[in-house]
Amino acid sequence: MPNERHRPTLTLTLLGLALNVQAESTPPVYDLGTVTVTATPEAPLGTMGADQVASVVTLDAMRRYNRDTVGAALDLLPGVTVATNSRNEQVVFVRGFDSRQVPLFIDGIPVYVPYDGYVDFGRFTTADLSAIQVAKGFSSVTYGPNTLGGAINLISRKPTRELEGDVSLGFGEGTTRQASANVGSNQGLWYVQAGAAWTDSDGFRLSSDFEPTATEDGGARENAYHRDDKLSFKLGLTPNATDEYALSYYRQHGEKGQPPSTDPSAARYWQWPYWDKESLYFISRTALGATESVKLRFYHDSYDNAVESYTDDTYTRLKTSGRGSLGAAGKSVYDDRTLGGAIELRSTRFARHDLGLSVQLKQDEHKGDDTLKQTEHFEDTQTSVGLEDNIRLREDLTLALGATWSELRPETVDKLTDPVPKPDTQSAANGQAGLFWDVAQVGRLYATVATKTRFPTLKDRYSLRLGTAIPNPDLEAEHSINYEIGYQGTPWGRLSLEAALFLSDVTDLIQQVNDVEDDKYQMQNVGEVRLAGLELGAKAPIGTHWELGGNLTLLDRENRSDPDTRLTGVPDHKLTAHVLFRPIDRLEALLYLQYEGPRWDSQTVELDRYTTANFKLSYRPVEALLLEARLDNLADADYALADGYPAAGRTWMLNARYEF
C-alpha cells in the first residue's frame, strides 16, 4: 500500500565524476555554441569556466561513464533526476523543474518540440558532442524566454587539427548494436566536422525478481525495441582571429515500441513508426572593430512523428474508435516546425563593462491528424529582447546584471472539432543579478538572484487530453524567483570542492484542476511551489592508482497552494558514487553505485527505492584503441521509474573505440 503520509520531497544525490588520472586533456569546446553569463577569468580559449556548481558535463565524462544519450549524461550532475516515463521517453528534472521549464538547446538554439515543450532525451545521442552545459535557476538572457528553472545546452564538436576523429562499435544485451563515427579537419581558414551514430536494439531483459503479470511475462520486455540514427555536418569559415561563420545540418530518425503497462487495466499498445528531426543552423560571430562584435543565430527545425494505437499485444489491428480527441484512436501524425533567429551585440568599449544586447524571434507551428480525420493547426510567435552587463568591479570581482522582455503572440488556432477562441497576446519582464568573487588559490564564491518566466505551450492551452480535459486558451505564464549562493574551487592539494544553497519560489504554476465540467479537468494557473536545497561535491585522487568522488543534493519541495496534492516525478533521495582503480597506465576498473529513494508517481502510488551497481573494465592495447566491457545493474535489481514500467535488469555491453 502507498504511504499516504504527507511530507516534503527530499532528494539526496551523491555522485562521483571521475577525473582522468592519466591527465588526458579535455578537447576544446565549440566557442560559438557556448552560452555563459560569466566565466572564470583564467579559463583559456576553447574551454568553459563554470558559472555555477557542476554546470558542465565534459566529453571525457560522457565517454568514461558510457553515457550514450543526453539524458544518461545529464544524470551525472547533481540536482538532476532522469527517468523513463510511460511513453518510453527519457525525461529530465533539474532541481524539481521539468524539461518544459528547463528547455533544451543545441549551440544556444532551442530544440524543444513546439507542441508540448518536451523532448525525448533518449533520442539525442552524445557521440557528436563536445560538452553539455546546464544553467540552474540563473541563466544568460540570451537563451530567451521559458527558462523558468534554467537551461540545458548541447555543444557540438569543432576540429582543432588537420585530421582527427574516432570510430566506435558496440554490442550488448537484447542484441543491442551501436556504431558511431566522427571526422573533422581544421585547415585554418575553414573547417569541416561530420558525424554519424546508429543504435538498434530489440529491447532489454527484466530482472529475474520481476513477477509476471497478464501483460508482461518477464524475460525480454514486451514491445521495447528502438532504432535510432543521426547524421550531423558542420562547415565553418574562420577568415581571421576574431570572425567565424558556421553552417550546421542535423538529421535524426527514430522508431520505437512503447512497452505496455504491467498493470492490465492501464495497458495500451502503442508503437512509434517514426520520430524524426531535421535541422539547419547558421551561427556567426563578427568583430565590428576593436571593442564590438555581433553574433547571429538562425535556425529551422522540423519535428515529425507518428504514434499507432493497437487493439491488443499482437500489434496488427489499429483502433477504429476513440473518445473524440486527437490521438485517441488509430494512427496520429504530428508535424511541427520552428523558424527563428537571434542577434546578439556585445561591447567592451567602456572600461570594466562587457555589455550585451540580444533580440530573438521564434515562430512555432504544430499540425496534427489521426485516423478519425480530426485535425488541428496551431501557430505561435515568441519575441524576446535581453540586455546584460558583466561589470568587473575589481580584478577578482564581477557583477553580472540582466533584464529581459518577452512576448507570446498566438497566430493560428484551428481545430476541426471542439474549436477554441484565439487568446490574447501576453508578455513578461524579468531581471537578474549575480556577484562572482574569484579568490586566489581558493576558488570562486558567488550569489545570484533571477526572476524567470515560462509561457504555456500549445498543448497546455488547447489539448483535450484524449477527451478527458477542457482546453484553457487563456492560460498565463508561470513565474519563478530563483536564489543561489555557492562556492567552487580547490582549497588544498588536489581536492576539489563545490557547494550551493538554492531557493525557488514558483507562482502561477500550471496545474490540473479536476471536475471542472462533466468529470473533466482543466489546466489552470493555481500552483504555488517552493523549491529549496543544498548541493555539495568533492573529488580527489588517492595516491597514484585510486580516485574517489561524490556529490550530494538535498531538495525540499513544498506545494504551498495545495499541501494535500503531491509533487511527483522526483525521488525522495538519490545517492551515487564511484571508485576508480588504475593498476597500470593502460588498464582501468570503475565501480559506479546509484541509490534512489521512493518517489510519488501519482497521488496514490509511491514507487520503491532501489540500488544499482555498474562495473566497467577498460584496456588500451595501443594508445589509439580503447576496449571496454561493462555490466550494468550488477545485482539485477527489480525497480521502476514509472508505475507499471519496470527498468532493465542486469545487462552487459562490449565496446571498442579507435581515435585518430
Q: How far apart are CA 473 and CA 463, in angstroms?
A: 9
Please name the residue that has the C-alpha cell 530482472.
207
**613 alpha-carbon distance from chain centroid:** 23
Give me the phi and psi of 458, to 5 degrees please.
-60, -40
**Residue 4 within a domain:** no
Q: Give residue 188's region: left, alpha or beta (phi > 0; psi -120 to 50).
A: left
Instruction: Give the CA angle between residues 535, 537, 541 to the nearest 5°.
Output: 175
- Give the C-alpha separation, 108 to 495, whole Å: 32
Number of separate domains in the chain: 1
What does the pLDDT read at residue 454?
97
SS3 content of the chain, % helix, strand, coil (to 5): 5, 55, 40
Set of cell numbers at residue 259: 512497452
Residue from 524, 487, 519 nearest 502 by CA: 487
Residue 232: closest CA among 136, 325, 135, 165: 165
Nearest to 437 by CA among 492, 501, 489: 489
Report the distance separating Cα 147 and Cα 104, nearest Å: 10
pLDDT of residue 368: 87
Cα separations in angstroms, 242 against 291, 562, 584: 11, 54, 43
Q: Give domain status of residue 3, yes or no.
A: no
Q: Which three cell numbers stand for residue 1?
A: 500500500
Separation CA 396–CA 252 (nearest Å): 44
Q: Is there a domain that residue 314 lies in?
A: yes
Q: Is 328 contained in some domain?
A: yes
The pLDDT of residue 536? 87
Nearest Cα to Cα of residue 506 among 231, 100, 171:
100
What is the Cα–Cα distance from 409 to 656, expressed in whole angstroms? 50
Is 1 among the domain residues? no
Integer Cα distance of 74 and 134 in angstroms: 9
SS3 label, residue 643: coil
Q: Is residue 574 part of a domain?
A: yes
Contact call for residues 420 and 413 (beta carbons, < 8 A): yes
Alpha carbon 147 to its chain centroid, in Å, reads 12
The pLDDT, as a whole number, for residue 48 is 56
pLDDT of residue 571: 86
Q: Which domain holds residue 191?
A: 9-659
**CATH number assigned to the domain comprising residue 596:** 2.40.170.20
Q: What are phi and psi of 60, to 5 degrees?
A: -60, -45
Measured CA to CA, the distance from residue 575 to residue 590 in angstroms comes to 17
pLDDT number for residue 373:
62
In a domain, 2, yes or no: no
- Give the residue from 653, 649, 655, 578 showing the smallest Cα distance to 224: 649
Which of these, 313, 89, 87, 90, lies nearest to 216 by C-alpha position?
A: 313
Terminus-to-terminus CA distance in the chain, angstroms?
56
Euclidean distance between CA atoms 279 and 340, whole angstroms: 12
Instruction: Calculate the CA dihedral of residues 214, 307, 151, 35 and round it to 10 degrees.
Output: 140
Cell of residue 453, nine digits:
518566466
Among 494, 592, 577, which Cα is nearest to 543's? 494
pLDDT of amino acid 416:
79
Residue 412's contacts (CB-CB under 8 Å, 6 or more residues apart) are 365, 377, 378, 379, 422
Distances (CA, A) of 608 to 271, 572, 600, 611, 640: 28, 10, 9, 10, 8
Is 334 within the bounds of a domain? yes
Q: Report H helices in 289-434.
A: none
List of residues 6+ apart from 351 with CB closer than 8 A: none
Do β-strands 397-415 and 610-622 pair in parallel, antiparallel, or remain unpaired?
Answer: unpaired
Which residues of the chain fall short of a pLDDT of 70? 1-27, 38-50, 53-54, 321-329, 371-373
Nearest to 221 by CA among 201, 238, 237, 241: 201
Q: Residue 600: beta bridge partners?
A: 606
The C-alpha cell of 561 is what?
497552494
